[in-house]
Structures are given as structure tokens and as C-alpha cells.
Structure 1
Amino acid sequence: MKRVDNIRVALRNLPKRQRGQGMTEYIIIVALIAVAAIGVYSLFGQTIRAQVSGLASEVSGTSATGAISSAQSAASSARTTATQSKGMGSYGN
């Protein structure tokens, strides 16, 4: 009888464990997406800000020439930074 009771208790507790495991997996996925978004924003943040500024200028009816050239120079800088080879030899640079 005790064996049957132990099996019932184990089966009753099973869904709770699985729900907790699923929640943990979702939290890990959300954390990975957040880290990736922070990395992309840190690499292209200045470009994104300049493009949004140009868009806001155009919507308001003014010329966005300065914002567009700023976005282009920021994109060029980001491209240069992204293509640099990084390794243990250039860790501090």
C-alpha cells in the first residue's frame, strides 16, 4: 500500500515541477534576448539615435540633412569597429 501511495504522491507533484521548469526556460530565453538586444544597441546605438532624429525632423517638416550625415558617419564607425579582429592579443585595445 505504501508503494502505491508513494507513486500517487510522485504523480501529483509531477506537474508542479514541469511548470517550474517551463517558467525557468522562458526566463532564460528572455534573458538571452535582452543580452543580445543590449549588444546590438551598444554597437548601433548612435546610428539608431541619429536615424530616429532624422525621421523626427522630416516628420516635423524640417530638413534632416545634418541628422542623415550624422547617421552615415555613425554607421561607418560601427562598421569599422565590427570588422576589427578581436582576440586575446588585442584584448585591452
Structure 2
Amino acid sequence: MAIKRRQHGQGMTEYIVIVALVAVAAIAVYQFFGQAIRSQMAGIAQEISGKSASGAITDAQTAADSAKTEATTKKGLSAYSNDNSR
């Protein structure tokens, strides 16, 4: 009976670890693409309400270009002091 209870606890622990990893990954993705996602959602909301979303679309494209530039920037310990001087 005690062995079965430990196995149940192990499954729950594994589930919690997986959920935590997914949450960390989601936070990282949102951090990286957050502005582009917010601009896209603003554009969708404006289009649904019948207004022009050209400004929001331009903002989303600018944010996407910024994300692309950030993605190609080399990250590492050699650039650590450069990133922290901002």
C-alpha cells in the first residue's frame, strides 16, 4: 500500500515539473514576442470594431523586425557587460 502511494506522489511531482517547464517556456516566448503579439491583438480588435488597423499592423511589423534583430544578436558571457550597461 505504501509503495502505491509513493508512485502516485511521484507522478504528481513529475506533472508539476512539466507544468513549470511549460510555464517558463511560455514566459520566455511572451517576453520575446510580447510586443508583436499585443500589436496584432490590437489590430484584430480594431478590425472587428470596424476601424482601420493600419497603425497597429505597422506597430506589429516593427516589433517583429525588432524581435528578428534581437534573435540574431549573439548572446553569451562575452557580451554580458555590454547587455548590462543599458
Q: Same fold (TM over 0.5)?
A: yes
Match of 2:44 among 26, 33, 55: 55
Matched ranges for 1:11-50 at <5 A: 12-50=1-39
The corresponding residue for 1:5 is none
Mark the runs of 5 or more structure 2 residues left unpaired by the alignment: none
- TM-score normalised to structure 1 length: 0.86
User: What percent of counterpart residues are identical?
Assistant: 60
1:10-55 CA distances to partner (integer Å, 9 max, x unpaired)? Answer: xx21110000000000000000000000000000000000000000
- TM-score normalised to structure 2 length: 0.93
1:51-89 CA distances to partner (integer Å, 9 max, x unpaired)? Answer: 000000000000000000000000000110011111111
* Aligned mates of 1:49, 1:25 — CA distance in 2: 33
In terms of Rg, which structure is larger? 1
Count of aligned positions:
82
Match of 1:79 among 25, 48, 68: 68
Mark the runs of 5 or more structure 1 residues left unpaired by the alignment: 1-11
Aligned Cα root-mean-square deviation (Å): 0.6
